[in-house]
Amino acid sequence: MSTIKEIQSLNQINKDDTNSILEIVYKAISINREYKSDSVVNKKSDFIFDFTELLEGFIDKRFFKDKNEKLDIMNFIDKLNTQKEILELQKDNILSLKKASIRLGKKSQSAFDKKF
Model pLDDT for residues 49-69, shown as the tens digit of each residue: 999 999 999 999 998 889 999
pLDDT band at 113 (very low <50, low <70, confident <90, very high): low
CA gyration radius, the chain: 23
Which whole number is the average pLDDT over 79-93? 90
Domain of 23, in residue numbers: 2-115
Q: Which amino acid would we find at residue 77?
A: I
Distance CA 13, CA 67 (A): 26
> How many domains would you assign to the chain?
1
